[in-house]
Chain A
Amino acid sequence: MKGAPAIAVTALRKSFGKHTVLDGIDLHVPPGSVFSLLGANGAGKTTTVKIMSTLLAADAGEVRVAGHDPVRAPDAVRAAIGVTGQFSAVDKLLTGEENLRLMADLHHLGRAEGRRTTTDLLARFGLTEAARKPASAYSGGMLRRLDLAMTLAGSPQVIFLDEPTTGLDPRSRRDMWQIVRDLVAGGVTIFLTTQYLEEADELADRIAVLDHGRIVAEGTAEELKRRIPGGHVRLTFAAPQDLEAARQALPEAVPDPDTLALRVPNDGSMRALKTLIDRLDDRAVEVDELSVHTPDLDDVFLALTGQPT
């Protein structure tokens, strides 16, 4: 198995009725790495995960997960994977411990091994104290940890994390990131979907940007950032009419009406800045504040998909 890709997808297509969700995507994930599929809501991330985890059949394309076809050999794929979706897949009437024991039993671990796995996972995810409480009493962060612990009960080779931190508070999010890093250190392959650029930047070895069912860019975080040479300039305004005037002067800019701000792609060089200021001056646009930003994944996303995340 070493060397063979953990996930290989070619020309994957899926439509629901007339609505095309995946329009021919290719993915290649080497074993032991973290791959992040980045996209806005509705980009097709969850559909991709559903197809790879045997929940949904593709319309066309080749899919191999841990070397198996999810349609022709679903049980072989299921035996190799673990899935944690964005909605917690725990039994809320059972306790954390009972949920984990349920998983251990379904993975046919023996009595002693099942008990040991349960105890280990509870400790590893900081749930030992809450082990005997029903999951309905858990906080959002605890539920997500229990959910992931249940996914790990079967020692999967490939783990799908579908927006694992959506809806979590910043601290729980950081905890989750640490857990993911520890998992990778243990040698598993992780396929992570997220709408947070920061998350992909923090965790992923490789990132693919999904937009309207197509992969619009793929590479390491560094490679993607290099595509946008100079980051952007952020202009803020005192009044909505100033913002509107600036938009007319700078059609390439992306406005944020809530904060009366405008994002203008710009490499930050003296020449580019002077050009920008001149264009604003020509129309006598009043700018409240100007700041130069070095590129981050946000800019990549903006440049590639034409929308901020």
Chain B
Amino acid sequence: MTTYPVRDSATMLRRNLKRMLRYPSMTVTLVAMPVIFLLLFVFILGETLGAGINGGGRAAYANYVAPAIIMMTVMSTVQGTAISVAMDMTEGIITRFRTMHIARVSVLTGHVIGSVLQAMLAVGIVTLVALAVGFRPTAGPLEWLATAGFLTVLAFAFVWLCVALGLAAGTVETASNTPMVLVLLPFLGSGFVPTDSMPAAVRWFAEYQPFTPIIEALRGLLTDAPVGNTVWIALAWCAVIALGGYLWSKRLFDRAS
């Protein structure tokens, strides 16, 4: 029997966007967190950290930390994906979808596309706040475009991972806790301070974990920091995470049905 994956995915996307509108407090919470971190790091810690990193004080630190905060925004919003997938799984509606002749994958793709859009909206808001508190990127139009593309890929990859985490969670509470690691890992990388200031073992981990090249790539795209091959390493990580998340999600979803 023929199915209509694109049409069904569009229907599911509409459903998820409506749910986000009905439940705005979640989006607000998810966006508020990176904004609070941004303000905290720029205004409370920025003067000292900036002096320690490159002797530049608060303004220099704002430029250093903003790309990390923008990346953290993506990680914060994808947590919402895990929560809403887990909410779906615990509600009866998913059972209804399973007894209907629809393209099964659309249940998940609706979440994925909706969450990527939500993440990009959040990134837009946080970027504006960052600009307002002193972030001065040197990126030209082409670099901005590349940044937007890169962040979309990043969101896409981690949304799939969070769909899997949401499916694996079993309860909404678990689903809201497990992805916290995605917000904390950047601290064990070059997100807030350069890795060479860290103890040897942490530095080793920091240099090889995915968030370091991701943050460095963003820094390179947005500011005059060197890019090197970080963009390619970051994209490779995204590909691995997206594929892993997709395959894991598919397995969990098929098993549950």
* Complex Cα spacing A167 to B4, Å: 37
Question: Measured between alpha carbons, how far is A144 from B113 in the docked complex, in Å?
Answer: 31
Q: Interface 1/0s, chain A 119-140, versus B by CB < 8 A? A: 0000000000000001000000
B7, CB-defined interface residue at 8 Å:
yes
Cross-chain contact B101 with A83 (CB below 8 angstroms):
no
Out of B1, B4, B18, B95, name the residue touching A55 (CB < 8 Å).
B95
* Inter-subunit contact B15/A94 (CB<8 Å): yes
Q: Determine whether B98 belongs to the interface, using a CB cutoff of 8 Å to chain A.
A: yes
Interface: A81 (CB within 8 A): yes
B22 x A94 contact (CB < 8 A): yes
B132 CB–A CB distance under 8 Å: no
Q: Is A108 an interface residue (CB 8 A)?
A: yes
Complex: chain A residue closest to B4, CB-CB: A108
How many Å from the CB of B118 to the closest CB on chain A? Answer: 15
Query: Is A106 an interface residue when CB atoms closer than 8 A count as contact?
Result: yes
Interface of B (DSSP majority class): helix
In the complex, are the beta carbons of A91 and B101 less than 8 A apart? no
| CB–CB A75/B98 < 8 A | no
Which one, A89, A98, A151, A154, contacts B93 given CB within 8 A?
A89
Of B8, B23, B92, B95, the residue contacting A106 (CB under 8 A) is B8
Across the A-B interface, how many residue pairs have beta carbons closer than 8 Å?
A: 64
| B91 interface hit (Cβ, 8 Å) | yes
What does the 1/0 interface line of A217-260 toward B look like (CB < 8 Å)? 00000000000000000000000000000000000000000000
Name the interface residues of B1-45: CB closer than 8 Å to any CB of A.
1, 3-4, 7-8, 11, 14-15, 18-19, 22-23
Decide if B54 is an interface residue (CB 8 Å cutoff).
Answer: no
A98 to B22, CA, bound (A): 12
Given B3, B4, B23, B101, which contacts A93 in the complex, CB threshold below 8 Å?
Answer: B23
Q: Is the CB of B92 within 8 A of A90?
A: yes
**Contact: B1 with A83, CB < 8 Å?**
no
Cβ of A33: which chain B residues have Cβ within 8 Å of it? none
Q: List 13 A-B contacts (CB under 8 A).
A: A55-B98, A55-B257, A75-B3, A81-B99, A89-B95, A91-B15, A93-B22, A94-B18, A105-B11, A106-B8, A107-B100, A134-B22, A154-B100
Q: A92 on the interface (CB 8 Å rule)? A: yes
Q: Which 10 A-B pairs have the closest CB atoms?
A: A89-B92, A89-B96, A75-B1, A78-B101, A79-B101, A105-B11, A93-B22, A83-B99, A87-B92, A53-B99
CB distance from A118 to the nearest CB of B (A): 14
Chain A residues with CB under 8 Å of B19's CB are: 91, 93-94
Q: Is A54 an interface residue (CB 8 A)?
A: yes
Given known A-B contacts A76-B1, A102-B11, A92 and B91 have beta carbons under 8 A apart: yes
Tell me if A85 is interfacial: C-beta within 8 Å of chain B.
yes
